[in-house]
Structures are given as structure tokens and as C-alpha cells.
Amino acid sequence: MPIGGSFSATALVTNAGARSRFANIFAGLVMAVVIVLFGSSIGYVAMPSMAGLLIVIGFRTFKPDRVEMVWKTGLVQQVVMGITFVACLLIPLQYAVLIYAWRTGQ
């Protein structure tokens, strides 16, 4: 399963106590060794573990006080936040992000 450096990987190693950029490189090397040694078993573990990891990171990055702050800002921000939330639930994430960018003019 192909993987790469991303915000979720950086957040994971930072929360685990990483202090340098070498942490992602080391994680990649460990992943390469594991795939070479246990390649036939990886298919049974990769997708469920990635889903679990994304759920944990999603919960850790959710900040209720910031949602409340945006909600109190005004009607336009409430509508944009609501559309983005519903879009994330109903359509693939990359399209939801495009809708968010289009609605906010970014």
C-alpha cells in the first residue's frame, strides 16, 4: 500500500514526541522494512489501521471552542461551516474541500 508524508503523519509523530524532521524519514524506513518482511500480511491490516488512525487524528484536531467561535461570527460563516460539514459527510473529501474553497473564495 503506497504511503507518503502528510499532515496526518506529521501530526502523529509530533503527538508521539518527535523533535525533528527525521521522525518521518525514520517512520518511512520502518514501514519499508515491515512491508518487505511482512508483505503478505500487510493487506489484512493496512486499511483498518489507517481508518483507525484517521479517526483518532480527526478527534484530536476537532476543537469545539473554535467551532463555537466560528458559529458566533455571523450567518455567512454559519452557512459555510454547515455546507462544508454536510459535504464532508455526503461526498468524497477532496470535493468537499473544493466546495469549501469555492464558498470562501480561497
Q: Are residues 52 and 67 in the same domain?
A: no
Q: Are residues 23 and 58 in the same domain?
A: yes
Q: Terminal CA-to-CA distance of the chain, rounded, Å?
A: 32
Q: Are residues 10 and 56 in the same domain?
A: yes
CA 50: distance to chain centroid? 10
Any idea of the CA torsion for 94, 100, 102, 104, to the nearest 10 degrees? -150
Q: pLDDT tens, position by position, for the chain (106 residues)?
A: 445 556 667 777 778 888 887 888 888 888 889 888 888 887 777 778 878 888 888 888 888 998 899 899 999 889 888 888 888 888 887 787 777 677 666 5
Q: Are residues 1 and 22 in the same domain?
A: yes
* pLDDT confidence of residue 1: 40
Q: Are residues 79 and 49 in the same domain?
A: no
Q: Cα angle vertex 6, ends 26, 95, to 5°? A: 160
Q: How many domains does the chain have?
A: 2
Cell output for 90: 455526503
Q: Are residues 1 and 31 in the same domain?
A: yes
Domain span including residue 36? 1-62
Q: Are residues 54 and 87 in the same domain?
A: no
* pLDDT confidence of residue 65: 92
* pLDDT confidence of residue 69: 92
**Is the pTM for the entire model greater than 0.85?**
no
- Which is nearest to 7 in space by CA: 99, 97, 84, 81? 97
